[in-house]
Amino acid sequence: MNQEPRDRIYRVVSDVVGVPIESIDDDSSPDSIPSWDSASHVHLILALEAEFDVSLSPIDAMEMLSVRMIATRLAEHNITETRAP
Amino acid sequence: MTLNNLLHELKPTPSSYLSTARTIEAQDFAQLRPLNVAILSTCNLEPLRPYLMVECAAWGLLVKPYFAPFNQLEQQVLEADSKLYESRPEVVVVATRIEDMAPNLTSRFITMSPSDIDRELRQIEERLRGLAEGVRRISTATILIFNYLSPRFLAAGLADPSLPLSQTSVIQHANEILGDICRTVTDAYVFDYARIVQEFGAQLWYDPKLWYLARIPLGAKAQIETAQHMARYLHAVDSNPCKCLVVDADNSIWGGVVGEEGLTGIELSEDYPGNVYKDFQRTLLSLRDRGVLLALASKNNEQDVLDVLQHHTDCVLGTEDFAALQIHWGDKASSLAAIAEELNIGTDALAFFDDNPVEREWVRSQMPEVTVIDVPENPMQFARALVESGAFDHLNLTSEDRSRIEMYQKEKERRQLYSESPSIENFLRQLEMVATVGHVSGESLPRIAQLLAKTNQFNLTTRRHTSSEIQSMIDAGAVALWLRVTDRFGDNGLVAVAIAVPEDSNGWRVDTFLMSCRVFGRQVESILLGMLSRVIKDRGGEAIVGEYIPTDKNDIASEFYSSHGFYLAEDRVDLQRWIKSNSGIELPDFIVVRSEDESGTTG
């Protein structure tokens, strides 16, 4: 992979909820991004599954409610950083 | 960026479609022709929105579909001032699922009579026609109506194609009805959703290279898939299906532990995660419809579990759906043994479903003959694991299979009566049994051969003659009798068979004598032996030789001849011969006996 997981998560969130990638950080969540509503959350989960080629459980889906939680949950699927962020 | 460039860069991923859709929506490309589309559905189709926008743009259309809140069909269609018409639709898409339109056709199919099915189909027709004509009255929009898929799991499993009216053909019929509606309503068309699903599967199925190179009609994955399914059929041909499914309660048929979380704390509802368990209970119920007995083995306080079964509003299964309940803190192997005993079946006819791997291992180690189902960790895969375990695969579903469940339930009532009756004879008298005995003929042969093939316990010789072998024996002079018995609780069906062949000048050998354990302990066997003795007598038989071939399972029949006044003439390890002069056998007076001519029954 030529991109670190963190960058790829930012890209996916940006594409799905429709905000500029520069405005996204680890604290981004439905609270800070109004367009990250329940409908786009479903899209986000499907987009993450496609991006990282993983199958996420309903519990993953319900807990991935911030960029940081997305990264944590993906790490449990062995999708981790290769360098310090 | 031009539209062409935008579409050119599209990748088949959710995020690519979503960002492309957003751009199309924001830019309003002038070359796109707007088309107003409204979508009505009985489920949540809204996630389709961005994909539909992008795919329509590729055809030169600007589509920003209006999605009605799901399950609002008539409310939207029949009111001229609804949001649907406010959206000025040029196309109205109606997407309903058969599961939502006629739930019984999917989950309770086996319990439905042809007239029930007909009624459900007519209701679907009325509703779809009402919707199509409703739109037509108020708007000129073109109407597209989704047709129906076969359900994910067929109610009869592998036996569906053998049903006189298969579930698949009923769904097909619903689709034909939809075709009729579309032909009679102007500008209404079928959206062939079923075909799309099939084509999507077929794309994964074929490998053109293999076809053109070697005339192989299926690709590598399809070969594995076909082999797996064919193996399931072959397994069904080779082995007997389990008769009873023993399920655990906590974290199996609901989420959580009822003893800790209480009646209202367990997960069982119409929403996630309770809906996963509720659906699994529906799968269990459809197995029960097929004639599989359900039993519960749970380590719990009995009342806690009974409260859920009797009072939880989302509990699909009730106590009456279980043929046996073992709810206590004892070990599960003992519970399984008790269930087999209560139902009068062998423990090898049990399948066991428990989310707890320790319990599964325990049962496996204690009772290797039990089919222990590998339960996946994820409850969303429970139903599939159960269905694909093959434990209940039948290539054929007889009406006998279907009525078996009712018979066992009546048996339960009988036992209650038994515990209330002071003496066994009094109990038997209260049963008001009527036995009908007849000669085996062409019509009854298949059922007779089936009984010979599957009866293990009360079976004196366990000889598995086929239909044609039995016919040859009859042609050569054998007497073959069947017996069926009814009582105040209903018809037990054809439950016993005897075949005797003339040996020498005046002796007859009982080659086969068996009885279903359903009626064991009711002296029905004495009736059949007595009737056999009379028929033999009429044909000049002066002595009866009874044979007993001991097996692991037929000890229950070992005293049959001694208790009817036979003496042991030959005692080998593998065969006992019992003899009695044919001076008649006393018939119990609490069973009314009829011959087939009197009752008009032929078996």
Residue A53's closest CA among A38, A36, A74? Answer: A74
Of B18, B273, B380, the CB nearest to A15: B18
pLDDT per residue over B167-218, tens digit each?
Answer: 999 999 999 999 999 999 999 999 999 999 999 999 999 999 998 988 999 9
Q: Bridge partners of B59?
A: none
Q: What pLDDT does B423 receive?
A: 66
| Residues of chain A neighbouring B22 (CB-CB closer than 8 A) | 18
Query: What is the C-alpha to C-alpha distance for residues B566 and B94, in angstroms, rounded to an integer?
Result: 75
- Report the 10 Å Cβ neighbour count for B205: 17
| β-pairing verdict for B543-548 and B142-146 | unpaired
| Residues of chain B neighbouring A57 (CB-CB closer than 8 A) | 378
Q: What pLDDT does A82 receive?
A: 52
| Residues of chain A neighbouring B50 (CB-CB closer than 8 A) | 43
Contact B378 A57 (CB under 8 A): yes
DSSP code of A22? G
Contact A43 B46 (CB under 8 A): no
Q: Is B400 helix (H, G, I), strand (E, B) or coil?
A: helix
| Residues of chain B neighbouring A21 (CB-CB closer than 8 A) | none
Average pLDDT over residues B69-88: 89
Q: What percent of chain B has pLDDT above 70?
A: 94
Q: What pLDDT does A1 receive?
A: 43
Q: Is B398 helix (H, G, I), strand (E, B) or coil?
A: coil
Write the DSSP assignment of B39-60 as a string of letters. EEESS--GGGHHHHHHHHHHTT
pLDDT bucket at B420, cuts 50 / 70 / 90: low
Q: What pLDDT does B14 receive?
A: 94
Whether a cis peptide bond, with omega within 30° of 0, leads into B550 is no
Out of A55-59, B387-391, B429-433, least confident range: B429-433
| β-pairing verdict for B576-581 and B543-548 | antiparallel
Out of A67-81, B178-192, B413-427, least confident range: B413-427
Average pLDDT over residues B117-139: 93
Tokens linked to A4: 């670190």
Contact B14 A50 (CB under 8 A): yes
- The CB-side HSE value for B438 (13 A sphere, CA atoms) comes to 21
| Residues of chain A neighbouring B47 (CB-CB closer than 8 A) | 39, 42-43, 46
pLDDT bucket at B107, cuts 50 / 70 / 90: confident
Query: What is the C-alpha to C-alpha distance for residues B583 and B329, in angstroms, rounded to an integer?
Result: 54
Q: What percent of chain B has pLDDT above 90?
A: 65
Q: Is A54 on the interface with B (CB under 8 A)?
A: no
Q: Which of B11, B15, B271, B279 is the mutation pick for testing A, counting most A CBs within 10 A?
A: B15
Contact B484, B492 (CB under 8 A): yes
DSSP code of B241? P
Contact A45, A36 (CB under 8 A): no
| β-pairing verdict for B576-581 and B61-62 | unpaired
Contact A42 B47 (CB under 8 A): yes
Contacts of B288 (CB under 8 A, 6+ apart): B294, B321, B405
Question: Is the model more confident about B32 or about B70?
Answer: B32
Determine the residue of chain B that is closest to A49 in CA distance. B14
| Residues of chain A neighbouring B274 (CB-CB closer than 8 A) | none
| Residues of chain A neighbouring B19 (CB-CB closer than 8 A) | 14-16, 18
pLDDT bucket at B52, cuts 50 / 70 / 90: very high
Average pLDDT over residues A51-78: 91
Burial of A8 (0-12, 13-18, 19+ CB in 10 A): middle
Q: Is B27 on the interface with A (CB under 8 A)?
A: no
Of A14, A39, A58, the CB nearest to B273: A58
pLDDT bucket at B409, cuts 50 / 70 / 90: low
Of A12, A50, A58, the CB nearest to B272: A58
Contact A43 B13 (CB under 8 A): no
Contact A51 B15 (CB under 8 A): yes
Helices (H), B367-466: 382-388, 399-420, 424-430, 445-454
pLDDT per residue over B487-512, tens digit each?
Answer: 877 777 889 999 999 987 678 999 99
Q: What pLDDT does B418 receive?
A: 64
Query: What is the C-alpha to C-alpha distance for residues A8 and B480, in angstroms, rounded to an integer?
Result: 78
pLDDT per residue over B276-296, tens digit each?
Answer: 999 999 999 989 888 899 999
Average pLDDT over residues B328-352: 94
Tokens linked to B515: 């009885």
pLDDT bucket at B602, cuts 50 / 70 / 90: very low
Of B22, B272, B380, the CB nearest to A18: B22
Average pLDDT over all residues of chain A: 88
- Report the 10 Å Cβ neighbour count for B564: 18
Determine the residue of chain B that is closest to A52 in CA distance. B13
Indicate if the alpha-carbon torsion angle B197, B203, B204, B210 is positive or negative.
positive
pLDDT per residue over B348-375, tens digit each?
Answer: 999 999 999 989 999 999 999 999 999 9
Contact B280, B379 (CB under 8 A): yes
Contact B13 A11 (CB under 8 A): no
Contact B19 A12 (CB under 8 A): no
Q: What pLDDT does B70 receive?
A: 78
* b (16+ CB within 10 A) / e for B441-479: eeebbebbbebbeebbbbbbbbeebebeebbebbeeebb
Contact B18 A43 (CB under 8 A): yes
Residue in the block written with tokens 């999507």: B200
Q: What pLDDT does B142 receive?
A: 97
Query: What is the C-alpha to C-alpha distance for residues B244 and B450, in angstroms, rounded to an integer?
Result: 19
CA distance to partner chain B, nearest, from residue A14 (Å): 8
Q: Is B19 on the interface with A (CB under 8 A)?
A: yes
Q: What are phi and psi of B322, to 5 degrees?
A: -100, 130
Contacts of B366 (CB under 8 A, 6+ apart): B333
Contact B14, A50 (CB under 8 A): yes
Helix (H) or strand (E) holding B494: strand B490-502
Q: Is B579 helix (H, G, I), strand (E, B) or coil?
A: strand
Determine the residue of chain B that is closest to A12 in CA distance. B15
Q: Is B75 on the interface with A (CB under 8 A)?
A: no
pLDDT bucket at B427, cuts 50 / 70 / 90: confident
Determine the residue of chain A that is closest to B273 in CA distance. A58
| Residues of chain A neighbouring B26 (CB-CB closer than 8 A) | none
A–B interface: beta-carbon pairs under 8 A:
36
| Residues of chain B neighbouring A12 (CB-CB closer than 8 A) | 15
CA distance to partner chain A, nearest, from residue B463 (Å): 53
Determine the residue of chain A that is closest to B22 in CA distance. A18
* CA distance readout (Å), B498 to B219, B275, B437, B470, B478: 53, 51, 10, 11, 10
Q: B155: alpha, beta or left, given left = phi > 0 and alpha = psi -120 to 50?
A: alpha
Contact A51 B13 (CB under 8 A): yes
CA distance to partner chain A, nearest, from residue B52 (Å): 14
Query: What is the C-alpha to C-alpha distance for residues B499 and B19, in angstroms, rounded to an integer?
Result: 78
Contact B582, B543 (CB under 8 A): yes
Query: What is the C-alpha to C-alpha distance for residues B347 and B367, in angstroms, rounded to an integer?
Result: 8
Question: Is the model more confident about B270 or about B274?
Answer: B274
Contact A18 B378 (CB under 8 A): no
Q: End-to-end CA distance of chain A, in Å?
A: 16
Q: Bridge partners of B145?
A: B94, B190
Q: Is B15 on the interface with A (CB under 8 A)?
A: yes
Out of A35-39, B12-16, B395-399, B433-437, least confident range: B395-399
* CA distance readout (Å), B430 to B407, B488, B490: 17, 8, 13
Q: What are phi and psi of B515, to 5 degrees?
A: -150, 140
Q: What angle do CA B490, B496, B500 make, to 5 degrees?
A: 155
Contact A50 B50 (CB under 8 A): no
Contact B14 A46 (CB under 8 A): yes
Query: What is the C-alpha to C-alpha distance for residues B363 and B375, in angstroms, rounded to an integer?
Result: 14
Question: Residue type for B529, please?
Answer: L
Contact B546, B566 (CB under 8 A): yes
Q: What pLDDT does A39 receive?
A: 85
Q: What pLDDT does B600 receive?
A: 40
Determine the residue of chain A that is closest to B45 in CA distance. A39
